[in-house]
Structure formats: structure tokens, C-alpha cells
Amino acid sequence: MGPCRWTWSVSSRCVLRSLLARLQTAGALGLRKRLSTAPSSPLVCIVGSGPAGFYTAQHLLKHHKQVQVDIYEKLPVPFGLVRFGVAPDHPEVKNVINSFTQTASSNRCAFYGNITVGKDISVEELQQAYHAVVLSYGAEDNRQLGIPGENLPGVYSARAFVGWYNGLPENQNLEPDLSSETAVILGQGNVALDVARILLAPLDLLRKTDITASSLKAIAHSKVKQVWLIGRRGPLQVAFTIKELREMISLPGTKPLLHPSDFEGLGDVIKDLPRPRKRLTELMVKSALEKPSEKDSARWASATREWGLKFLSSPTEVLPCADGTRVAGIRLAINRLEGSGESAVAVPTGRFENLECGLILSSIGYKSLPIATSVPFDAKQGIIPNTMGRVHNVPGLYCSGWVKRGPTGVIITTMNDSFDTAQSVLDDLCSGRMDPSVPKLGFQSLRNTLQLRGVHPVSFSDWEKINASETAKGKEVGKPREKILDLEMMLRIQLKPARGVT
């Protein structure tokens, strides 16, 4: 259930329940004596400052008037995939940062960046310092292809490529080779379309975004003119959404390659599809089978770049060039489908196809990693086992976001999921499963420990100095911001007095 299930706030209901319980067990004098000492505020720690972390904090602060929330982040900057995952040409999606900033500005919320939980501080130490710990650290690893040649130069994960053009510090030395005319993206989700769009988008469009200066320079010299997006199943199973498909179809200077044979006969099944899938499929069918408008026809005739969808194909081997030093192509197994809809399974036919390319980007999904041996982890599913966000067999420990449910869904999915986890925390406070009267000191009890370990936390006001520096540099070149890529530089900027930000 969502946040509006109660008319009263959680804190009001908890106070009432507490009073009734005390009246049943104590006389009026005893009650007054107990109430003379107010119980401590619930202290909640959230690990990860991406959408899952901030939405969890937002719900807690809104529905409990005494709770104190501390958000820990390994980087000196907040917002996770909103900053490092959302495509540069989708600034409207990043507007959620405004509400996250409002949450972080609450006097009951604190941000502590530059702290890696599991390295600088342990989960167990956090559990000692807080009444509740919520793990929202996302999915930081890639699913492997598991095929020969996937480690050849020229093969990259889409996650690393996205991090490269979005300024994620760990990916700044990626230096992808864009010297080939043909690129292959393995996967047909929104991330795959984002990557294809960035590879093919006109430079004038990208120059107005917050794409990093170094990646913009590399893309300006890119030789990529053709991009294929490979899917193991068919058009009815693609994972991208209609908004992203529309953008690709209307991308200036590019032409879509949608083969009519892939879409013939779908008219009979479209009418029975759920509305989002129906609209998406109708757009693909229209683009593939119907005669384009004069405007589209003229635009595609003058296009210098192209992209296409290739279905029923699974990668089986990355093919090396003659001297074996880099990728030269990919071998694809041709599939057929058994079953229908989302449950359809790709089955190999025994036939293969070789596709020449000099760049391969794997976009087959992210995966979460275990954070501590004391925290249960399902390695097969890549999640922390939980029920409504409550970690199994570990009272006081919770999870939200991708580490809770897997790397699926869009930002609103994460919002609702995080609200559910926050509600579990509130319900446990209200029911007595969690006792906020037990003394906890939160960050104050960890400050000296971090200092002794050479860790220098970054506050939200420190981040605002970094933010001011980035936006100022961006303004100079007509961009929303020029992201700082170097961690040491970030830390130097946050040490400057506010008036000295440059």
C-alpha cells in the first residue's frame, strides 16, 4: 500500500498506541513519571544516495515527525543513477534532483558522502549506531555474456559506457574505440536505446547537455555510422518503452532499419496486448510496414547514419580480427520462439550468422553484489532476500531499490518500491518490533572511527560547493553543468570556503 493509507501520521498513531499501553500498565502518577523523560528519536541509516535511498528517506521524514535519517554514499556526490545513469539528453528525468535536494535540506536528514560501507565502515557498525539500517546501494556490477572473446578490446559493458559519458569517476579511463563504422549493442532495453542514441546523435544536440567534455570530444571523432540492437526474442518481447523508441525513430540525421518480415502478422495479436505493449508494438509495425510520410521519407533519404533492431539472435562468440588483438565481429545463434508474450522462450535453431563490427556494447543487465558476509544474499537472483523490504532473519535491517527486487523498472517503480520499504520501517516502529527508546548515537558514534581510518565525510553543503563549481563551468560553455570527473578535485573543492567556489 502507498503512503496515504492512514489519515493520521505514523508518529501520531504510535504516540496514541504508546499512551494506551502505558495506561493499562501504570497508574496516573507512574505514567507522568515515565512521560517526563521523552524517548529518543528513531535513527535510520540509509546506504546509497540514488533514487531508492532518497525516496526511502522522503517517505520516512514525511510520515514520522521524529525520525532522523542519515544517508551514506561512497562518492562525494549524491543522486546515484540520476546523475550517472540518466542520458544527458533527458534533462527532464533529472528534475527529480530538486525534490531529493529538498529532502536532504531537512533538519532531520544528513548526507555523508565519500564513505564506502563495507570498507570504510561496516554494516555491523552501522547496526550498532542506528535503530534501523536500509541498504539501497543498487546494482554496481554487470551481467557477463559468458561467451568466448567477450574480453577482447572493443567489447564493453553498456554500464561502463554510460558511466563514461555521464562522468562516473571509475569509468573515466574507459577510452572506447569508436573507429569502426558498425557497432553492435547486445540488448533491447532503454539503456541499449540510450547508448545507440548517444552514439548517433548530432553533436549540436549533445553540446547542449551535461555530457562530459572528454566523451563529447571522443564522440565528435567517432566513425560509427550504423548501430544494431540485438535481442534474443522477438518484437513482442522488447524491453524498451515507447518514449525511447519515438526518440530513436525521429533522431535527426538517422534512418531506422526495421525489416517488414519481422513485423508481418502481428496485427492479429496486437489487439489483445496490454495497452503499453500494444502502443509500442503498433509504433514498430507502423514504422516497418507503412509508407513513411513525405517529411520522414526526405529525412531518411538524406540520413548519414542508421540503426536497426535484429531479433531472434543470441551471441555465441565474439570474433577476433586476424591478429587477435581486437574484436572484428560477433557470431549470433538464430532462435525461434516457444510460447508467447512475456513467457516466450528463445530456442536455438542450429543456424548461425556472423555480423561484422568493431564495437560491441553488452546491455544485458546489471547485478547487485553482496555488501557483507553478515547480510544474506541470493547470488543467483542478485538480491538481498527480503519480505516487503525486511531482510530475512536480520531484525532492524532493510533494503530497497534494485538490491531489493533486481535491476528492473523505471524511476517510478523504484519510488513505489522504496515507499513500501519505508512503510515497513514505520510499521515496525509503530508495532514495537523496533524500539527507538534504546539509546543510539548515529553518526556521532562513528565520527572518531572514520577519522582514525582516514575517511573524510562530505556533507550536503559540501556537495553544493561542487555543484556550484560544475554549473559555473557549464555556464561558460553553454551547458547545464561541466561535471568534475576527478575524485580528488571534488574533495579539494568542498574544502574551499563557500565564497571561494570557482
For residue 340, pLDDT over 90 is answered with no
The mean pLDDT of 388-415, rounded to a whole number, is: 95
C-alpha–C-alpha distance, residues 136 and 56, integer Å: 9
Measure Cα distances from 91 to 95, 233, 336, 464 in Å.
7, 31, 39, 19
State which amino acid sits at residue 64.
Answer: H
HSE-up of residue 110 (Cα within 13 Å, Cβ side): 13
Tens of pLDDT, residue by residue over 316-327, are: 999 999 999 999
Tens of pLDDT, residue by residue over 70-129, are: 999 999 999 999 999 999 999 999 999 999 999 999 999 999 999 999 999 999 999 999
Tens of pLDDT, residue by residue over 163-213, are: 999 999 999 999 999 999 999 999 999 999 999 999 999 999 999 999 999
C-alpha–C-alpha distance, residues 34 and 31, integer Å: 5
- Confidence bin at 241 (pLDDT 50/70/90): very high
For residue 5, pLDDT over 80 is answered with no
Measure Cα distances from 430 to 13, 62, 71, 423, 436 in Å.
7, 15, 22, 10, 10
Cβ contact 495:457 at 8 Å: no
pLDDT for 502 equals 39
Helix ranges (H only) for 377-486 are 402-405, 411-431, 447-452, 460-476
Nearest to 467, CA basis, from 184, 131, 101: 101
Which pTM does this prediction carry?
A: 0.89
C-alpha–C-alpha distance, residues 195 and 162, integer Å: 7
For residue 6, pLDDT over 50 is answered with no
Neighbours of 112 (CB within 10 A): 22
Cβ contact 344:233 at 8 Å: yes
The mean pLDDT of 243-262, rounded to a whole number, is: 96
Helix ranges (H only) for 211-306 are 213-220, 242-249, 267-270, 275-289, 294-301
pLDDT for 142 equals 82
pLDDT for 16 equals 42
Cell of 367: 547485478
The mean pLDDT of 457-480, rounded to a whole number, is: 97
Tens of pLDDT, residue by residue over 13-43, are: 454 444 333 334 333 333 323 332 335 699 9
Neighbours of 119 (CB within 10 A): 11
Could you tell me which residues come within 8 angstroms of residue 368 by beta carbon, excluding any fewer than 6 positions away?
A: 137, 138, 139, 140, 141, 382, 383, 384, 402, 403, 406, 407
Could you tell me which residues come within 8 angstroms of residue 369 by beta carbon, excluding any fewer than 6 positions away?
A: 140, 141, 382
- Confidence bin at 498 (pLDDT 50/70/90): low
Every domain range in the chain assigned CATH 3.40.50.720: 41-140+368-458
C-alpha–C-alpha distance, residues 489 and 473, integer Å: 14
315, with CB counted inside 10 A (0-12, 13-18, 19+), is: buried
Cβ contact 235:283 at 8 Å: no
Looking at the chain, how many residues does it have?
502
For residue 50, pLDDT over 90 is answered with yes
Percent of the chain residues past pLDDT 90, beyond the cut? 85
C-alpha–C-alpha distance, residues 231 and 334, integer Å: 10
Cβ contact 180:174 at 8 Å: no
H helix count then E strand count, the chain = 19, 18
Every domain range in the chain assigned CATH 3.50.50.60: 143-365
Tell me the average pLDDT of the chain.
91
Nearest to 214, CA basis, from 477, 493, 485, 472: 485
pLDDT for 497 equals 67
C-alpha–C-alpha distance, residues 446 and 117, integer Å: 12
* Pair type for strands 313-320 and 327-338: antiparallel
Cβ contact 334:347 at 8 Å: no
473, with CB counted inside 10 A (0-12, 13-18, 19+), is: middle
C-alpha–C-alpha distance, residues 500 and 495, integer Å: 10
Backbone angles phi, psi at 463, to 5 degrees: -60, -40
Bridge partners of residue 397, in order along the sequence: 133
3.40.50.720, 3.40.50.2000, 3.40.50.300, 3.90.1150.10: CATH of 41-140+368-458: 3.40.50.720
* DSSP string covering 199-244: HHS-HHHHTTS---HHHHHHHHT----EEEEE-SS-GGG----HHH
Neighbours of 61 (CB within 10 A): 18
Q: Which helix (H) or strand (E) holds 112?
A: strand 109-112
Task: Mean pLDDT check: name the lowest of 167-181, 222-236, 239-253, 258-272.
Answer: 258-272
pLDDT for 2 equals 40
The mean pLDDT of 137-162, rounded to a whole number, is: 93
> What percentage of the chain's residues is helix, strand, coil (to nearest 5)?
40, 20, 40
The mean pLDDT of 248-252, rounded to a whole number, is: 96
pLDDT for 496 equals 74
Bridge partners of residue 121, in order along the sequence: 117
499 vs 356: which has the higher pLDDT: 356
* Pair type for strands 345-356 and 155-157: unpaired
Backbone angles phi, psi at 149, to 5 degrees: 85, 0
HSE-up of residue 348 (Cα within 13 Å, Cβ side): 9
For helices 190-200 and 242-249, give the axis angle rounded to 10 degrees: 20
- Confidence bin at 379 (pLDDT 50/70/90): very high
pLDDT for 17 equals 45
pLDDT for 11 equals 46
- Superfamily assignment of 143-365 in CATH? FAD/NAD(P)-binding domain (3.50.50.60)
C-alpha–C-alpha distance, residues 402 and 398, integer Å: 13
pLDDT for 427 equals 97
